Each structure stands twice: as structure tokens, then as C-alpha cells.
Chains A and B, each alone.
Chain A
Amino acid sequence: MSVRRLAAEQPKSFSFNKKNEEWAKKQIAKYPEGRQASAVIPLLWQAQKQAGGWLPEAAIRHVADMLGMAHIRVLEVATFYTMFNLEPVGEYFIQVCGTTPCALRGAEDLIKVCKKRIGEQREVSKDGKFSWLEVECLGACVNAPMVQINDDYYEDLTPELLEKLMNDLKAGKKVKVGPQIDRQYSAPSGGLTTLKGEEK
């Protein structure tokens, strides 16, 4: 992880669309009077979704004003959690897990693919479709190596499988979420090794 800063180029203003506004009000109502600040993370998350996967500075102010918080308090939250992207990301934002288990199982090759197809970390590809970031453990070590693309995990990857995945996403094809090889969730690859027969 490195120092995270707000993006240099920012939209001038931000406000929730009608649907999100309604949703935000419901979130805020969950908390007792005077504790509205508790809704800051859900609201920031929704703002990030609405703004296209990243959090503009105007959104930070908008959320702060909605919750009656000081701007700096919301900025603290937004810069603390790495799930809030402070710079624009591609339509498909690939977070490559680079922690030990994934690294041992070939995460570096996945990173090479990303570098080749997209460019450096945090850069958005020319067509706006992709950007990537190496992140710490995403907690799916059994299925290493893996990446997270937007909200979903894509596991048991090889460079070829990742390229195919990216091609499919770019082409707008439907892709399979989860393990990309013949494997059920995190069950053993190549079929079950125990509990094969009927219960006796």
C-alpha cells in the first residue's frame, strides 16, 4: 500500500440520484438520532458506485453534508479504507491479490498480463474498460491465484485464463464467477477425495 491521494482532476459537483438518495435516507434512518455519522461507509460506497467505481472529492463533501459531519472526518474514512478508490478506475477494476499464497501460485504472472494489456497500476486502459491494482490478501487463498473484478472473485487463474476472462468481459460476454477451472467452490480440484460414497 502506498500514500493515497485524491485524484488531480475532479468533477465539480456530486449529488446522489433520486434512487440513491432514497436508499441513503433509509440507511441513515437505521441509526438513532445524533448517530447519523454511522451511515458514512454505506453512503460512501453507494456514492462510489454511482460515480463509476471511484469516489470524487465532491462526493466526500456531499456525504459529509448529508450526515452533518465535518468534511475532514469523511475524508479520513475515505482515505483509510482501500475499498474506496480515490482515482478513476476502469469499467472493470481488477484487484490482483499479491500476497504470499497467491504469489506462490503465480500471481506475478497475472500481474504481467495486466501490465501487458492495461499498463501500470492505477492507469485506466485507453478504451476505459480496465484498470488494475495489486492488493493485499483477499482471503481466497485456497483458490490462489485470484483476482477481484468489481464485486466478484475470479479464482484458480492462469495467465491464459485471465486473458480470456478479460477478452470476454471486453466483448460483453457472460462470464463465470468463482473458480475458472473445473472445481466446485473451494472443494478439491480434480474431484472429491473424500465423502465419495453413500453414507453407510
Chain B
Amino acid sequence: MTKIVVDGKEIEVPAEYTLLQACEAAGAEIPRFCFHERLSIAGNCRMCLVELKGSPKPVASCAWAVRDCRPGPNGEPPVVNTKTPMVKKAREGVMEFLLINHPLDCPICDQGGECDLQDQAMAYGVDKSRYHENKRAVEDKYIGPLVKTIMTRCIHCTRCVRFTTEVAGVAELGAIGRGEDMEITTYLEQAMSSELQGNVIDLCPVGALTSKPYAFQARPWELTKTESVDAMDAAGSNIRVDVRGREVQRILPRLHEDVNEEWISDKSRFIWDGLRTQRLDKPYVRIKGKLVRASWSDAFAAIADKMRGLDAKKVGAIVGDLSTTEEAFAIKALMDAIGSPNLDCRQDGSVLHPKYGRASYLFNATIAGIEQADGLMIIGANPRREAPVINARIRKRWRAGDFKIGVIGEKADLTYDYAYLGAGPETLADFVKHKKAQLKKQIWLIGQGALARPDGEAVLSMFAKSVHSVGGIADGWNGFSVLHTAASRVGALDVGAVPGEGGLTATQMAKAKSLGVLFLLGADEIEVDSDAFVVYIGTHGDRGAHRADVILPAAAYTEKSGIFVNTEGRPQLAKRAAFAPGDAREDWAILRALSDVIGHKLPWDSLSALRQRMFAAHPHLAKLDQIVPADASQLAALSKLGGEAKKTGFKSPVIDFYLTNPIARASAIMAECSRLAAGKLPQAAE
């Protein structure tokens, strides 16, 4: 710790702090454009100038470390001033330079109202300009379907360049030319390929990079902001849903250091146009092979008809990937009431099961734990496609150095270097009787690509043995980590939404010929090929709805309150930001009404009553935003499963990142991104 005097206040800060950090620690506010906590230091906007005693010129506080300051003649601590006339003048001067070429188009700029330049010009600038010459004009660049560019507004902070290079791991943006002619662009205006590119919109302190789909949609002060949780992948990114009227206008990330830091994937950010299209807003009943609009009571009557006198064993239910934990709990309660063991949340055929203990299906190392790890083995997963935010965390750890990464499965560009060890179970078998590795904190990450296959149990067993033999589980460290792809999965496993004694799995139910009635709770990733009477409770006219005999319209993840448990086992509350369209209702209410109709009334009348029941049965779910560590000793039993694994290589279940769920498949933006990623879209040559 080093002493430093900021505005007459003596504080102690670590020597490696920058002056900017020291000033903030002392409570002084420093304006900045180019500096960002999570990016490297550029020091090119000069907005953070402060007065350093002994220095003839103001210094850029973001690029000047406390340890670089010279002490006074008698060893006094360095003195920094942030409120002197010199600093004020320096800031006004910098601001004047920044505004020389910045257009005065705030009234038509999408950043207006949430623009750093606007705010800081108000706070630190002067009210007039001495500049009479023509302003610089820059041609707009095409950098992809998601990010709109108005390059005349650019102030060259290079945050976007640093983000794409450092965090996203694709060096695609750059600054060409020099001086006044410097321009931000991609190579020959190719579209960016990163699945995290939307974050440059948030990073841009001005309106140079804005959201293309959101262009001219709304002003920030018109929007109702709801803090919620993302359901596009199992990372549980924290998001803010901005709504105007009934419609979601945009989705932004929220800061959560232990989950998504301040990034979200493009799917999380740009999914919202899918919430408007292909929506189911009325119940439908299939009459003579055709789906016909019906009232809720008709739809319920049709179901009740089918259920009457049906053997409980002939009823099944599949929980989809976007369901909340409450819904999984409710449908489990309903199936229990009916007396059917046929319930499953594992549409993909994964073998994870709560009977092996909670530790067997969690990302036990935790996302923040990736940063403490010294080694990572990725098995049957492509984190870049399955959870881009987690992949960014892995890349962050990898950039810090001294991090060994191995991959068993598909070879893919993960944005970091790794040792490719092999394709399938026979490579994993090498580790079953391996000597203990030198590394103290290893993470063994297994994806659904290795578990959602017929020999999944054998693979899981081999995996558990390997983690034990190489020392992935040590005192205070559990490196056994499962990467999920579905937002609902961990929560559903937590409440036991899996087949009971003699029950059918999701895969079996989809093929079973003997099933009478099958409930699909937003299950769209599975092809139902049975002659059962299918009741689809969901949001979009996707695969499930096409097969359905009765459709009950439900609410999407932005239209209901519910708990999502992320892959680490962290329960987080998603809040309702908008209302479901038309006659659609929240899923828990549909299940409650349905239960009454078929004569097995569920014992709650409100969501909070349902939640109380769930919390009573599964107390760890009540601890919102906390991870209750799972007991690692349960994993030893997993090793004893045994079984024969086939030789086929592991394949990531996420083939197309942009089209993994019904909302994404209804989104025009996601469709365009998907075509672009597949190389099918001719790039706009502007």
C-alpha cells in the first residue's frame, strides 16, 4: 500500500493502482471516454487529466500508476488535484477538441439521453465553440447486421477495437489511417463474426456504434426498465429488459461480477424481435387434422375429455428449455397428483440425474472460479457456442497466462489456444487411471455433447473417474463442472423433473406408441413421433405447436416472473417486464387451471404460494443469487456406474448458435445472423 494525497485527502492504495483508481478510491470523480475497467489502457482520449504536483503538465490519470509518482522533496506522498482551475481548464480544452469534429446531431442520435459525451459535455465542457471550420465527415462502415455505424460521431476512444481483440477474441475491428483521418472499421468492411459483438454498442461512449435493430425505436427515457435474467443459455446472464408499451424494445446486460461481468451474448441481446413474431396468443384445438382457434374452456374441455379414464401411466410430460423452476415444480406436482412417473426435463437425452447428487449436474467450479483455476479440460462442449459469456471468462483467464487448456471433442475456434487431445471417449479413457496432475485447481468441463448420447452414463462415469484420478477434486476445490445448454435444466433437475420409478424419459416419450396424453411445457427441441394426444403449453408456433392437438398459449421469459437456476446452481429471479400477448397466460396459472379441469387441483392459488411450496421442498432455491455448494463426496458413486462407451466422437449440441430455441427461430435478426455465420448471406458491399 502506498500513500497518496488526493484533493487534500490522504489515502492508502495499492501501488499498482492508476491515479484514476486512486482518485476514485478517494471519492473524486474523473471523467473518461477511452478508459474501461475490463479493457487494456489506451490513454488516448485525455479526458481524465489531473494535476500531479511536480509535473509541469496535467497527466492522464488512467495511464499513470501511483507507483510512478515521485515523492516530495522530503519523502511526502505524491499530491494529486482533481478540482483545481488547471484541471478544469484541461478538461474544457479536451472537451473542446473532442467536439471540434463531433456532429451536433444529438436530436437524431440513438445514443441521445444515455451518451457519455453528452453528459460529460454538460458537466465538464464549455457552452460555446470557437471552431468555425468545416467538420470532418467520415463514411459509415458496414460491420455486420447487428451494429449500426455512424462514424462521423466517433471520437476514437478505441474501446470497440480493444473489446473485440481482448474480450471477444476476434481481431476484426481496427483503426485505419491516422490523425484526423483515423477511422474504425473491419477489414474491407466484412461483418464481425463474434457472438459477443453487441457489447461494443454499450462500450461506445458516443453514438458511433448503435444497435441496428433498435435504430430509431425509442428514447431511453420512454422505456420501462426491468432487471431480469437471461434464458438463452444456461449461464444465467443478468439482463435489463427495456419495454415501451407492450413490447420489449431492447435488452441490455446488467453487471454481475460472478456471472456475466458486464457482457451478454448477441442472442441474449437481439432476441427481442422474436418475442413479437410467431406468437401463440389464442388457445387452439385440432379438429379434423386442423388447428382451430378455441376458447380456454374449449381447450381445457378437449384435454379433460382425453384425460378422462386414462391410465395414469399413459400420461407424460416434457419440460422445455425455457421453463422456470416454478413451472417444473408445478408440472412435477401435477404428474405426481395424476400418479404418472413419465416426466422429463432432458429433451436432449442427457443422462444427468438428481439421483447422483446435486454435484453431478452443476458447474461446481463456478464461473468466477474459472479465474482461480490453473487448468481446464473441455470435454464434448463448445463453450463459445453453448455459453459465450463463460467462454469470454475462460479467455480472460487464458490471457492472464499460465493456464493449460485441453479439449476432447470437436476441434473449433474457441478464441484461445488449447491442446487438442482427441475426439471421443477413448481419449477420455486415458485419464481414468492417470497419475495426479501437478495442477492444483483444475476444471473439468463436460458438455451435453458428451452426456446426451446413448452411452452417456458410461461417459459420465469415466469422466467422474478421470476427475478423481487426476486430482480435479481437492480440499475446497471441486473441478467437476457440467456445462448446460438449457436455461431451465438445472432448476428442473433440482426439483426432480425426471422420470420416476418405471417412468419414460423424454426420448422414450417422444417415440412411445402407448402414450395417451403428452404435455409439452415449451418443449420444442424434440420431435414427437408418437400417436399421443399432445398438449403444447408454450409461446411460439414452433415444432411443439405444429405437432400439438391442443395449444395453450403461455408467456415468454420476459413476460413472467420465475426462478432460473444457472449452470453453477445459482438461483436467480427473472422478473416480468411485459405482458404476454392476447389470451396467453403465465405458465404456472395455466398448469393450475389445467389441474383443476382434469380433477387434480394443485394446492396453490398464486405464484407466491407456489413459490413458498417450492422453497419448502427445496430450500436452496430460496437463497437467490447464492450458490449452495454441492456435496462433492456424492461424485465418488458416479465413478462406480461403469458401462461401455462407444467410440464415436463428442459433438456439441449447439450447431447453430443463433437458432437454439423457439424465440430465436422466430427472430428475423437471429435468422440473418445465422445465415451470415453459415456464409449464405452475400455481404453488403456499401
Contacts and interface: CB of A to CB of B under 8 A. Distances in A.
Interface of A: 1-4, 6, 57, 69-73, 75-76, 79-80
A3 B185 CA distance: 14
Given A2-B181, A3-B181, A57 B176 contact: no
Nearest to A61: B187
Interface string B139-181: 0000000000000000000000000010000011111111101
Contacts, number: 40
B176 A73 contact: no
B177 A72 contact: no
A76 B179 CA distance: 12
A79 B172 CA distance: 16
Nearest to A79: B176
Shortest Cβ-Cβ A-B pairs, 9 listed: A70-B171, A72-B174, A79-B176, A71-B187, A72-B187, A76-B174, A3-B181, A80-B178, A79-B177
B323 interface: no
B186 interface: yes
B188 interface: yes
Contacts of B179: 1
A81 B171 CA distance: 20
A75 B177 CA distance: 9
B135 to A, nearest CB: 14
Nearest to B139: A3
B187 A80 contact: no
Given A70-B171, A70-B172, A75 B178 contact: no
A30 to B, nearest CB: 23
Contacts of B187: 70-72, 75
A188 B112 CA distance: 62
A73 B181 contact: no
Nearest to B172: A72
Q: Which of A1, A69, A73, A76 has the most CB of B within 10 A?
A: A76
A19 to B, nearest CB: 28
Nearest to B178: A80
A2 B185 CA distance: 17
9 contacts: A1-B178, A70-B187, A72-B173, A72-B186, A75-B187, A76-B175, A79-B177, A79-B178, A80-B178
A72 B178 contact: no
Interface residues of B, number: 16
A75 B174 contact: yes
A5 to B, nearest CB: 9
Interface of B: 165, 171-179, 181, 183, 185-188
A73 B177 contact: no
Contact of B176 (A1, A69, A70, A76): A76
Nearest to B138: A3
B171 A72 contact: yes
Contacts of B176: 72, 75-76, 79-80
Contacts of B181: 1-4
Contacts of B175: 76
A73 B178 contact: no
A57 B189 CA distance: 13
A76 B171 CA distance: 12
Given A1-B179, A2-B181, A69-B171, 16 more contacts: A1-B181, A3-B181, A57-B188, A71-B187, A72-B171, A72-B172, A72-B186, A73-B171, A73-B174, A75-B176, A75-B187, A79-B176, A79-B178, A80-B176, A80-B177, A80-B178
A183 to B, nearest CB: 35
A6 B185 CA distance: 13
B197 to A, nearest CB: 14
A159 B165 CA distance: 50
A46 to B, nearest CB: 21
A57 B188 CA distance: 10
Nearest to B173: A72
Q: Which of B178, B183, B186 has the most CB of A within 10 A?
A: B178
Given A57-B188, A71-B187, A72-B186, A3 B177 contact: yes
Q: Which of B165, B172, B188 has the most CB of A within 10 A?
A: B188
A4 B177 CA distance: 7
Contacts of B177: 3-4, 79-80
Contacts of A71: 187
Contacts of A2: 181
A9 B546 CA distance: 52
A6 B176 CA distance: 11
A69 B174 CA distance: 12
Contacts of B186: 72
Contacts of A4: 177, 181
Nearest to A72: B174
A29 to B, nearest CB: 22
Contacts of A3: 177, 181, 183
A1 B178 CA distance: 10
Contacts of B165: 70
Contacts of A57: 188
Contacts of A69: 171
A96 to B, nearest CB: 20
A177 to B, nearest CB: 30
A1 B187 CA distance: 22
B295 to A, nearest CB: 58
Nearest to A60: B187
A6 B188 CA distance: 9
Contacts of A80: 176-178
Contacts of A70: 165, 171-172, 174, 187
A80 B182 CA distance: 8
A71 B188 CA distance: 9
A74 B346 CA distance: 48
Contacts of A6: 188
A66 B181 CA distance: 28
B22 to A, nearest CB: 33
Contacts of B178: 1, 79-80
A41 to B, nearest CB: 14
A108 B406 CA distance: 65
A75 B171 CA distance: 12
Contacts of A73: 171, 174
A120 B188 CA distance: 27
B305 to A, nearest CB: 63
A159 B616 CA distance: 96
A139 to B, nearest CB: 19
Nearest to A57: B188
Nearest to B136: A3
A103 to B, nearest CB: 21
A76 B175 CA distance: 6
A73 B170 CA distance: 11
Nearest to A4: B177
A72 B178 CA distance: 14
Contacts of B174: 70, 72-73, 75-76
A70 B173 CA distance: 10
A86 B566 CA distance: 51
Nearest to A3: B181
A75 B178 CA distance: 12
B402 to A, nearest CB: 15
Contacts of B185: 72
A75 B176 CA distance: 7
